[in-house]
Amino acid sequence: MDAYYFRFHTDVECIPHLHVNNEFIYVKSGRLRVTVNGRAFLLSAGEAVLVLPYEVHDMHTAGESVALVSEFSPDTVSSFTQLLSHKEAEERKFVLDTRVMEYLLQGIEKENVSLCEAKAYFYFICTEFLKNSPLKEKSLRSVRNYVYNAIVYINEHYREELSLQSVAEAVGCSYNYLSKAFFEEVGIRFSQYVNNYRMQKAVYLLLNGETSVTDIAYETGFSSVRNFNRIFLAAMGTSPTEFRKKESPEVYNL
């Protein structure tokens, strides 16, 4: 199924996550740090990264940034997807020709981009990516598979009580193995990822609707309102109640 979007973001902040689609990240101005499967890339204006399906990645602005973030399904670029079915890219960061990128941005900024136009843009992006990133035979990495399965499990069960032990048992590996593998692949510890994911859900609920702080705490898997307030304050520098009063939904739309 063809699915895609184009969206500009200012001062992007996004916790580690993964999804079934490709994600193109292009820095229009400023600097943006993108981590893909534990590898960090510092992007300046004119530089881009292509994240492939099921790869753990995050984004953090270094100072300030304006970035184009575009997600598109593997079916939208089926030939590219088939090419990578048994191969993997050695490099992720690449530079797009300024004049060509200006033309691309002009097309993207139109109100209605047709599927045909979108496919042309995405194939152009994939072609430029392949020019800059040699391919090699895909290695079978059981470590990445365990971490991927753990993240999927967390994302589906974040409302429940989660521990490293219970998730390790769910994905079929030991506590120590998952603890080490998770940190190596994602770049943060298991407990931090769980809290970050719950926080992302809590922020959305705070800014979209009138659900009480107490209900949000329990709906997003926190063990108590006190624990929710403590973690929220440490992460956001303010309480959930004050955050709801002063923030705009558009700022946290990733």
Residue 253 — very low, low, confident or very high, per pLDDT cuts 50/70/90?
very low
Position 92 confidence tier, pLDDT thresholds 50, 70, 90: confident
Residue found by looking up tokens 């993108």 in the block = 34
pTM above threshold 0.85: no
Instruction: Of 2-6, 68-72, 128-132, give the lowest mean pLDDT range.
Output: 2-6
Taking domain 4-137, whether its CATH number is 2.60.120.810 is answered by: yes
Find the mean pLDDT for residues 29-48.
91
User: Comparing 253 with 54, which gets the higher pLDDT?
Assistant: 54
How many Cα atoms are found within 13 Å in the side-chain-facing hemisphere of 208?
A: 11
Q: How far is CA 254 from the centre of its chain?
A: 8
Provide the 8-state DSSP code for 85.
Answer: S
Determine contact, residues 31/63, Cβ cutoff 8 Å: yes
Alpha helix segments (H runs only) across the chain: 78-83, 98-108, 115-132, 142-157, 164-171, 175-186, 190-207, 213-219, 225-236, 240-246
* Mean pLDDT on 117-127: 89
Predicted pLDDT at 100: 75
Q: What is the arithmetic mean of pLDDT over 200-205?
A: 88
Mean pLDDT of the 51-78 span: 89
Which ranges in the chain are annotated with CATH 1.10.10.60? Answer: 142-252
Other residues' Cβ atoms within 10 Å of the Cβ of residue 144? 18
Residue intervals in the chain for CATH 2.60.120.810: 4-137
Q: Is the pLDDT assigned to residue 251 strictly greater than 50?
A: no
Q: Answer yes or no: are the C-beta atoms of 216 and 224 closer than 8 Å.
A: no
Say if CB 27 and CB 48 are below 8 A apart.
Answer: yes
Q: How large is the average pLDDT for residues 20-44? A: 91
Burial of 38 (0-12, 13-18, 19+ CB in 10 A): middle
pLDDT of 226 strictly over 80: yes
**Of 71, 153, 243, 198, residue with least CA distance to 164:** 153
The mean pLDDT of the chain is 86
pLDDT 10s digits, 6-18: 888 899 888 777 7
- Mean pLDDT score, 32-50: 91
Provide the pLDDT confidence category of residue 157 given band limits of 50, 70 and 90.
very high
In the chain, % of residues over pLDDT 90? 43
Look up the CATH number of domain 142-252. 1.10.10.60
Contact 41, 92 (CB under 8 A): yes
Q: Tell me, what's the pLDDT at 221? A: 96
